[in-house]
Amino acid sequence: MSSRKKTLSAQYYSIGQLRINRWDELKTKTEELSHCNEGSANEIKYRNEVEQLLNDLASVEQYFVIPGKTVIDKLTKSLEKRAYGVLAHIAKNTTRQLINDVYSGSAEDDKESLETDLGHDMQQTSKKNYFEVLVLDNLNSVDETALHQKISELHDPGDQFIYNVIVQRSFQDALITLFFNPNIQAVVIHYAPPYRSTNITPLIRPYIQNVLKFNLEAVPEAQLGPRTGKLINQFRPELDVYYVTDTALGDLKNSTLNTFRRIYYRKEDLQELHLAVIRGIRERYHTPFFSALKEYSQKPTSIFHAMPISRGNSVFKSKWVKDFGDFYGRNMFLAETSSTTGGMDSLLQPTGPLKKAQEMASEAYGSQRTFFVTNGTSTANKIVLQALVEPGDLVLIDRDCHKSHHYGLVLSGAYPVYLDSYPVEKYSIYGAVPLEQILEKLLVLKKAGRLNKVKMLLLTNCTFDGIVYNVQRVMERVLAIKPDMVFLWDEAWFAFAGFTYNYKQRTGMFSANKLYRKYQSETYRKQYLEHVQGLKEGEEPILPDPDKVRIRVYSTQSTHKTLSSFRQGSMIHIWDESFRKKTENTFLEAYMTHTSTSPNYQMLASLDIGRRQVQFEGYEMVERSIELAMVFRAKVNDTPLLSKYFDVLTVQDFIPDEFRDSGLSEFYDPETGWNRLEEAWENDEFMLDPTKITLFIGKTGIDGDTFKNKYLMDQYNIQINKTSRNTVLFMTNIGTTRSSVAYLTKILIKIATQLDEHFNSLNTREREIADARVQSLTLDVPPLPDFSKFHSSFLAVPGVPGGNLRAAYFLAYSEENCEYISMLECKAAVEQGREMVASSFVIPYPPGFPILVPGQVVSKEIISFMLALDVSEIHGYRADLGLRIFRDSVLNRQKTGTAMGAMGQSKKKIKI
Ligand SMILES: Cc1ncc(COP(=O)(O)O)c(C=O)c1O
């Protein structure tokens, strides 16, 4: 562990885990207590333990409606009355219901729960769209009871949406409720309860760091409500926030009017507020495109158009393919349409439900504009590149980014300036690009007079392996050098990140919005002036100039990778203050270039429905997927048979010390418990996304690819995505269940047992071979090569970073420009000083990004890496033919071209 700083830790990863654990303990202890003889030593012991547990639970349940304080009071009374049987019964049922998520309304009906005294609540929450409304008001208990009564009278039995109210009496308690309780969908803030909570116990303190870091005690009473409203918009922007005040309309600031969905006056009717709450929920629930598609599919329609499959006509009447129809069901075909009429809309020029659906997505993801994409983020990336960069522009880009970016650069004719991620050699994984390197490259380009050509910085956030950039810091420092830089954050793996605060801070859209507001403020202007005045001679400013800076940020997300959407459903989110002025036309052209004129409507509908889901339950689902990842990490650590063969890689395995100012080195320590992550998420240069769990398997003697295919998939039907030479990557997502994590753990135990048996059965020679294999996977790891360089003939400007990828790519179209050379010959040739240059992309999978791009010099390190690779899939390379490289005549074409040109014979052989 890093010795620099002590990280705050706690016994559980989250309050949810603590809560379940305490209830589970209560169930066990009350059961024991119910068997104790009155007056026995055991009775006293268990009574004390149960009392302590009830105290603990009271400090947590005050933030929940169900089971909430009511059930804790009931249990306390039963304990006082020594009604141990009743106590044990309620504790057992409540625990089961909590574990089965009955309270959130997302579980299947729980028959037994309906028999309990909580049955009515259960029945309501499990049948309807149930949610909770947080009311912040300093009510006495009589008024609180009256409020509950009035609200329940306003509900009609036929209502689709039902809610309960939870009252909090201080601003801190209200904020804590929002962090703890994912059922809250609306907040009503009254003028003006106190700021400070008197209910915070040491037990919950570690879990409320994001609340405790604010101290609004000095804020005047009249401003507390609006300030809290702003904080809620920041932490849980999907919620509807209402303000009930006495402040006269004329005295309300514009920012207050903007913060709240509606503002009410005390004397106004509760019914109005109730109707507004329901309307707000209904609006979010609305899915314009999915609803239009559903409606369309129910209309009787005759098709005299393409698409025989539409309405299932060519399928259900067929003798030979009816099974296809039966498999998918009728609705799939009824909804299969290409019509842009009859209530439907066109993706290429949306004016109706698709336009509305995209606007709602934009609101949900915090962008200014959002575009749906039906061919995955591979296409989204090409659209953004084509829209923003022109031939001859320079793009700073991480070399290990997805291949769609490299192809996008070929198409656009921009010159890439490749950035190298730091290597994590021990595990054959690339990390991410250090900020210092980005700044250095920019300064080199500035010195060479090329800064005006630099257009875009393109980074992958988070990386496949889960390394997350400090997005705000990167943008801030880059904008100080290049104030109009366009940022493309490839968030293919990060669509879920916008729905829980720690992650959200590191998304493109949140950061763009935050920086935009910051640079608009007078406070920043003053800060900038002071900064500039304090600079020494020749020193570069590290803050952007507020008069020059423009916020231009694009994020591309594979919604289908981490949220609910059919495959290929992706989105482009835009926060670009120059969009209208500079980019709208080119963006639409690029969108037309890459978008099918027959987009799949089912996929678009799934993007619409996925948006509804994240707005209602994104927070809860993302938190749960993190928790499951944490539980799995701890399980592998704490189970000796598992840790004998497998290590879950920690933060410090992935991120060098120098990038972790918080000192966070791991999520979980068997001795100290769970480290709190708030500080690391906020400040560290890189953070590791806990839902990406990399398991080091070197000690098994099995390589990543074999482990993935022969063990996990073939034997146990467990699908994973990425491997390296000695690691496999598991991801949890919003669809991961407790039982799937339990299954994975069980299978790993099974594999470890098999390995034990296998190693025990080996004879001496076999053992030596097995040990050598383990040694090779754990210790003899090949170094990871950096991007070498573009050959001088492919440099945009001699001696300055930026390569002409497009020219190299098209020169390779002509077979006579290329030759093949075996890897071994390659090695010898490089050693003898020959300069060889790749003519095509070479993409081994894994890692899945080009280790050679057209025009790149083949270095000794790259050859060694390729020779050491033991993967079966290398795109762009055929072992039987060898590496495809440019002939010397191509590399000398400029010299030859000039000389030949003088003789009037230029451009004869070499084609671009
Ligand atoms: C970083 C990154 N960007 C883009 C993509 C392409 O996304 P899609 O599969 O949605 O086309 C991937 C795919 O794995 C990726 O890893």
List, for residues 154-209, the tens digit of each pLDDT value: 988 888 999 999 999 999 999 999 999 999 999 999 987 899 999 999 999 999 98
Q: Return d(Cα 647, Cα 652) in angstroms, integer.
A: 13
Identify the weakest region by mean pLDDT among 122-136, 253-267, 671-685, 871-885: 122-136
Among 500, 752, 774, 714, residue whose Cα is nearest residue 635:
752
Least confident of 35-49, 340-354, 378-392, 671-685: 340-354
Average pLDDT for 635-662 = 95
Q: What fold does the segment set 356-613 form as a domain?
A: Aspartate Aminotransferase; domain 2 (3.40.640)
Atom of ligand 1 nearest to the CA of 463: 1
Closest CA to 342 of 306, 309, 294: 294
- Asked if 840 and 876 count as a contact pair (C-beta separation under 8 A), the reply is yes
b/e string for 200-217 if b means 16 or more Cβ within 10 A?
beebbebbbbbbeeeeee
| CA 211–ligand 1 middle distance (angstroms) | 35
As a whole number of angstroms, the distance between CA 500 and CA 519 comes to 25
E-assigned strand segments in 319-412: 369-373, 394-398
Calpha distance 750→230 (Å, rounded): 51
Beta-carbon contacts of 324 under 8 Å, excluding residues fewer than 6 positions away, are 315
Residue to mutate, 378, 562, 563, ligand 1, most ligand atoms under 8 Å from C-beta = 378
From the CA of 89, how far away is ligand 1's center (Å)?
50
State the Cα–Cα distance between residues 532 and 824, nearest whole angstrom.
Answer: 56
Residue 493 Cα to ligand 1 midpoint, Å, equals 8
Nearest ligand 1 atom to the CA of 460 is: 1
Residue 260, SS3 per DSSP: coil
pLDDT band for position 113 (cuts 50, 70, 90): very low
**Dihedral of CA 246/249/250/253: which sign?**
positive
Give the nearest ligand 1 atom to 561 CA: 10
Could you tell me if 186 and 130 are in contact, meaning their C-beta atoms sit under 8 angstroms apart? no
State the residue for tokens 């259960």: 122
Centre of ligand 1 from the C-alpha of residue 558, in Å: 7
Q: Which pLDDT does position 353 carry in this prediction?
A: 95
The answer to whether 166 touches 132, Cβ cutoff 8 Å, is: yes
Joined tokens for residue 141:
């208990």
Confidence of residue 673 (pLDDT cuts 50, 70, 90): confident
**In sequence order, what are the residues at sequence separation of 6 or more whose Cβ sits closer than 8 angstroms to the Cβ of residue 73?**
none
Residue pair 294/302 in contact by the 8 Å Cβ criterion: no
Residue 670: predicted pLDDT: 80
Closest CA to 420 of 396, 443, 386: 396
- The answer to whether 194 touches 138, Cβ cutoff 8 Å, is yes
Strands 423-424 and 429-430: antiparallel
pLDDT digits (tens, 9 = 90+) for 767-822: 999 999 999 999 888 888 889 999 999 999 999 999 999 999 999 999 999 999 99
Buried b (16+ CB within 10 A) or exposed e, 110-139: beebeebebeebbebbbeebbbbbbbbbeb
**Res 213 pLDDT > 50:** yes
Q: How far apart are CA 477 and CA 543, in angstroms?
A: 6
pLDDT in tens, 543-577: 999 999 999 999 999 999 999 999 999 999 999 99
The confidence band for 528, taking pLDDT boundaries of 50, 70 and 90, is very high
Topology of the domain comprising 621-778: Aspartate Aminotransferase, domain 1 (3.90.1150)
R_g (Cα) of the chain, nearest Å? 31
Q: Cα of 495 to ligand 1 centre, how many Å?
A: 12
The neighbour count for residue 440, using CB atoms within 10 Å, is 12
Give the confidence band of 899 by pLDDT, cuts at 50, 70, 90.
Answer: very low
As a whole-number percent, the residues of the chain with pLDDT over 70 amount to 93
Q: Residue 290 C-alpha to ligand 1 middle, in angstroms?
A: 25
For residues 353-388, one letter each, b for 16 or more C-beta atoms within 10 angstroms of the residue's C-beta and e for the rest, the string is bbbbbbebbbebbbbbbbbbbbbbbbbbbbbbbbbb
Task: Reduce the DSSP state of residue 668 to 3 states and report it.
Answer: strand
State in Å: Cα 378 to ligand 1 middle.
Answer: 6
Nearby residues of 181 by Cβ (< 8 Å), 6 or more positions away = 63, 64, 65, 132, 134, 166
Instruction: Pull the structure tokens for residue 342.
Output: 């009859």
Q: Which of 228, 131, 225 is nearest to 184 (CA)?
A: 131
Q: Are 858 and 837 spatial neighbours (Cβ–Cβ below 8 Å)?
A: yes
The more confident residue out of 307 and 424 is 424
- Which residues is 190 bridged to in the sheet? 244
Give Cα 35 distance to the centre of its chain: 48
SS3 content of the chain, % helix, strand, coil (to 5): 50, 15, 35
3-state secondary structure of 484: coil
Q: What is the pLDDT of residue 169?
A: 95
State yes or no: pLDDT of 269 exceeds 90.
Answer: no
Ligand 1: atom nearest CA of 464 is 16
The single-letter DSSP state of residue 672 is T
Q: Residue 336 — pLDDT band, cuts 50, 70, 90? A: confident
Q: What is the pLDDT of residues 370-412, one digit of tens each?
A: 999 999 999 999 999 999 999 999 999 999 999 999 999 999 9
Is residue 124's pLDDT more than 70? no
Let me know the angle formed at the C-alpha of 449 by 447 and 450, rounded to the nearest 5 degrees.
110
What is the C-alpha separation between 172 and 215, in angstroms, rounded? 9
Count of beta carbons in the 10 Å neighbourhood of residue 161: 17
CATH of the domain spanning 792-902, picked from 1.20.140.10, 3.40.50.720, 3.40.50.2020, 3.90.105.10: 3.90.105.10
Q: Which residues of 548-561 are buried (b: 16+ CB within 10 A; e: fewer)?
A: ebbbbbbbbbbbbb
Domain residue spans in the chain? 1-117, 356-613, 621-778, 792-902
- Nearest Cα neighbor of 132 from 109, 102, 162, 97 is 162
Question: Ligand 1: which atom is nearest the Cα of residue 401?
Answer: 1
3-state secondary structure of 761: helix
* pLDDT at residue 254 in the model: 81
697: burial class by Cβ within 10 Å (0-12, 13-18, 19+)? Answer: buried
Ligand 1 centroid to residue 411 C-alpha, Å: 18
Cα dihedral value 659, 663, 665, 669, nearest 10: -170
Q: What's the whole-number mean pLDDT along residues 263-283? A: 89
**Residue 596 alpha carbon to ligand 1 centre in Å:** 19
Angle CA(625)–CA(627)–CA(628) in degrees, nearest 5? 65
Residue nearest to atom 9 of ligand 1 (CA): 376
User: How many Å apart are CA 762 and CA 825, to the nearest integer?
Assistant: 39
How many beta carbons lie within 10 A of that of residue 104, not counting itself? 19
Classify residue 768 by its DSSP letter.
H
Binding-site residues, ligand 1, Cβ < 6 A: 376-378, 402, 404, 460, 464, 490, 492, 558, 570
Taking the C-alpha atoms of residue 893 and residue 221, their distance in angstroms, rounded to an integer, is 75
| Local confidence band at 105 (pLDDT 50, 70, 90 cut-offs) | low
pLDDT at 119 over 60: no
* CA gap 526, 783 in Å, rounded: 48
State both tokens at 370: 């959002």
Amino acid, single-letter form, for residue 344: M
Most confident region among 110-114, 338-342, 620-624 by mean pLDDT: 620-624
Mutate to test the pocket of ligand 1, among 372, 373, 377 (most ligand atoms within 8 A of CB): 377
How far does residue 408's CA lie from ligand 1's centre (Å)?
13
Query: Residue 738: CA atoms inside 13 Å, Cβ hemisphere, count?
Result: 5
pLDDT digits (tens, 9 = 90+) for 180-189: 999 999 999 9
Q: Which amino acid type is present at position 339?
A: S
pLDDT at 267: 64
pLDDT (mean) for 606-630 = 96
Mean pLDDT of 840-868: 88
pLDDT greater than 60 at residue 122: no
Provide the H-helix boundaries in 668-732: 678-683, 704-706, 714-716
Q: What's the confidence (pLDDT) of residue 111?
A: 40
| Positive or negative: CA dihedral 318, 321, 327, 330 | negative
Cβ burial of 24 (10 Å; 0-12, 13-18, 19+) is: middle
Tell which atom from ligand 1 comes closest to the C-alpha of 721: 14
Report the SS3 class of residue 857: strand
Model confidence at 108: pLDDT above 70: no
Q: Which residue has the tokens 């050509």?
A: 453
- Burial environment of residue 327 by CB neighbours within 10 A (0 to 12, 13 to 18, 19 or more): exposed
The pLDDT, as a whole number, for residue 896 is 57
- Tokens read off for 786: 């950096």
**Count of Cβ atoms closer than 10 Å to residue 293 Cβ:** 25
Mean pLDDT of the chain: 90
Of 404, 557, 563, the one to substitute when testing ligand 1's pocket (max ligand atoms within 8 A of C-beta) is: 404
Amino acid 110: pLDDT: 41
Q: Which of 296, 283, 348 is nearest to 602 (CA)?
A: 296
Do domains 621-778 and 792-902 share one topology? The answer is no
Q: How far is the CA of 566 from the centre of ligand 1 (A)?
A: 14
The helix/strand/coil state of 719 is coil
User: Whose CA is closest to atom 7 on ligand 1?
Assistant: 377
pLDDT band at 257 (very low <50, low <70, confident <90, very high): confident
Residue 422 CA to ligand 1 centre (angstroms): 21
pLDDT surpasses 90 at 340 = no
Neighbours of 298 (CB within 10 A): 10
Please state the φ and ψ torsions of residue 818, each to the nearest 5 degrees: -125, 160
Q: How many CA atoms lie within 13 A of 428 on its CB side?
A: 33
The pLDDT of residue 180: 95
Q: Which one, of 209, 213, 177, 210, lies nearest residue 193 by Cα?
A: 177
β-strand 673-675 against 9-10: which pairing, if any?
A: antiparallel
- Top mutation candidate among 402, 462, 469, 489 for ligand 1, by most atoms within 8 Å of CB: 402
**What gap in Å lies between CA 462 and CA 690, rounded to an integer?**
11
